[in-house]
Chains A and B, each alone.
Chain A
Amino acid sequence: MRYSAFSVFLNALRGNKGWKPAWRSPVPKNHYDVIIVGGGGHGLATAYYLAKEFGIINVAVLEKGYIGSGNVGRNTTIIRSNYLLQGNNPFYELSMKLWEGLEQDFNFNAMVSQRGVLNLYHSDAQRDAYTRRGNAMRLHGVDADLLDRNTVRQMLPFLDFDNARFPIQGALMQKRGGTVRHDAVAWGYARGADMRGVDIIQNCEVKGIRRENGVVTGVETSQGFIGCGKLALAAAGNSTTVTDMVDMKLPIESHVLQAFVSEGLKPFIDNVVTFGAGHFYVSQSDKGGLVFGGDIDGYNSYAQRGNLATVEHVAEAGVAMIPALSRVRVLRSWGGVMDMSMDGSPIIDRTHIDNLYLNAGWCYGGFKATPASGFCYAHLIAKNEPHETGRAFRLDRFARGRMIDEKGVGAQPNLH
Chain B
Amino acid sequence: MASLIACPHCGPRPKEEFTIRGDAGITRPTPDAGEDAWYAYVYLRDNPRGRHKEHWHHTSGCRRWLVVERDTMTHAIYAVSDASAPGETA
Chain A residues within 8 Å of B, Cβ to Cβ: 238, 240-241, 249-254, 297-303, 307, 309, 342, 398-399, 411-414
Within the complex, which residue of B15, B39, B52, B73 is in contact with A398, where a contact is CB–CB below 8 Å?
A: B39
Question: What is the CA–CA distance of A303 and B73 in the complex, to the nearest angstrom?
Answer: 5
Within the complex, which residue of B40, B42, B45, B75 is in contact with A253, where a contact is CB–CB below 8 Å?
A: B45
* Across-interface contacts of A303 in B (CB, < 8 A): 72-75
Query: Which residues between 52 and 70 of chain B lie within 8 Å of chain A, taking CB atoms?
Result: 52, 54
B5-39 to A contact mask, C-beta < 8 Å, 1/0:
00000000001100010110000000000011001
Question: What is the CA–CA distance of A411 and B36 in the complex, to the nearest angstrom?
Answer: 16
Interface centre among B39, B54, B72 (most CB of A within 10 A): B72
A309 touching B49, Cβ below 8 Å = no
Question: In angstroms, how far is the closest chain A Cβ from the Cβ of B49?
Answer: 5
In the complex, what residue of chain B is closest to A249 when comparing beta carbons? B44
Within the complex, which residue of A251, A254, A298, A300 is in contact with B43, where a contact is CB–CB below 8 Å?
A: A251
In the complex, what residue of chain B is closest to A307 when comparing beta carbons? B1
* Across-interface contacts of B39 in A (CB, < 8 A): 398-399
In the complex, what residue of chain A is closest to B44 when comparing beta carbons? A249
In the assembled complex, B84 has its CB within 8 A of some CB on chain A? no
Question: What is the CA–CA distance of A412 and B21 in the complex, to the nearest angstrom?
Answer: 8
* Across-interface contacts of B89 in A (CB, < 8 A): none
Question: In angstroms, how far is the closest chain B Cβ from the Cβ of A254?
Answer: 6
Question: What is the CA–CA distance of A398 and B35 in the complex, to the nearest angstrom?
Answer: 11
In the complex, what residue of chain B is closest to A241 when comparing beta carbons? B49
B45 touching A299, Cβ below 8 Å = no
Contact A300 B74, CB 8 Å, known A307-B1, A398-B39, A411-B42: no
Contact A251 B52, CB 8 Å, known A301-B72, A399-B35: no
* Across-interface contacts of B49 in A (CB, < 8 A): 238, 241, 254, 302
A241-B49, A414-B22 are known; give 7 further A-B pairs, CB within 8 A. A299-B20, A301-B1, A302-B72, A302-B73, A399-B35, A399-B43, A414-B20
Contact A309 B47, CB 8 Å, known A301-B75, A303-B73, A411-B42: no
B54 touching A300, Cβ below 8 Å = yes
B16 touching A250, Cβ below 8 Å = no
Show 17 residue pairs from A and B whose CB-CB distance is below 8 angstroms, ordered by the A residue. Answer: A238-B49, A249-B45, A250-B47, A253-B45, A297-B1, A300-B22, A300-B52, A300-B72, A302-B49, A302-B72, A303-B74, A303-B75, A307-B1, A398-B42, A399-B35, A411-B43, A412-B22
